[in-house]
Amino acid sequence: MSDPILKGGGFLARAREFRRRYQGPEGLFWIRRINHPVGAMLALPLVRTRVTPNAVTIAGLVVHLMGALLVAVVAPPASPLAILAIVVVWQLAFSLDCSDGQLARARGQASAFGAWFDQLVDVVSHAAVYTSLSLYLVRAFDPDAAMAVLLACTAVTLSLLQTFSTWQRAELVSRERPIGERPSPRLLAIYSARHLLDYGWFLFAVSILLLWPLGLLAFLVFSGLLQGLYVAAQIVLSRRTGGPSGTRSTA
């Protein structure tokens, strides 16, 4: 590959240009400023290697699971050192999840199977994150068996809502109005609120809140309500515009 991005100039400048070309659909606030740039820095050195985008996807899953394992075993409230480790691990995991798509587009290897595999890994990694957080809260509050089961079921539900709303987020705007038409105030409000559902921000926030279990529980309840409202908005817009369309990961 003779792309000038791959040779000459500073690494950071080349990574910025690489991200500009290959990051895919525009992301939310946190992912656009943290995870996409880091993802580009991870993907750029791999372009001329034999590492496949699917291998990067698997690496992201492994790192996600490492972070989940840390959360599952750390004693609440977590120490600042443990929180720092979890922040780094989970942000790296999500950045790898962003870099696989950039690598695939840079090589011209984007495929339907790659998009499906990326979504499958998203389901597993999101479930691992929420399950580890529920285990952490169980140890923090020592609820009875019924409450522990309820918390676990809630964790699974939230992981599915998180995954679904991530896949469908771009559809909200494209279904509501033609390109170039001014959006309605209602849609603008929904579109602005989407930044609160940024998965990179979510991972950062829950990592920090391991220091305060009650705050973590409140944040998860708030996040779950917001996810539910966003999915409801998606359903309403789908009914108004004639049904759902195909989806794929936008990372």
Residues 88-137: pLDDT tens digits? 999 999 999 999 999 999 999 888 898 889 989 998 998 899 889 988 99
- Domain contains 25: yes
- Domain contains 248: no
Is 73:61 a contact under the CB 8 Å cutoff? no
Domain span at residue 74 reads 4-240
Q: What is the mean pLDDT of residues 169-184?
A: 52
CA nearest neighbour of 227 among 249, 196, 200, 188:
196
Q: What is the mean pLDDT of residues 132-159?
A: 80
Q: Which residue has the higher pLDDT, 180 or 184?
A: 184
Q: What pLDDT is recorded for position 247?
A: 42
Model confidence at 144, pLDDT cuts 50, 70, 90, reads: confident
Domain holding 64: CATH number?
1.20.120.1760
Q: What is the pLDDT of residues 20-60, one digit of tens each?
A: 899 866 667 899 999 999 999 999 999 999 999 999 999 99
- Domain contains 250: no
- Domain contains 107: yes
- Domain contains 154: yes
Give the count of domains, the chain. 1
- Domain contains 99: yes
Q: CA dist 103 to 19, 108, 141, Å? A: 10, 8, 43
The torsion defined by the Cα of 100, 23, 206 and 146, in degrees rounded to 10, comes to: -60
- Domain contains 57: yes
**pLDDT over threshold 70, residue 241:** no
Q: What pLDDT is recorded for position 244?
A: 47
CA nearest neighbour of 64 among 218, 206, 235:
206
**pLDDT over threshold 70, residue 245:** no
- Domain contains 251: no
What is the Cα–Cα distance from 155 to 150, expressed in whole angstroms?
9
What is the chain's mean pLDDT, rounded?
A: 81
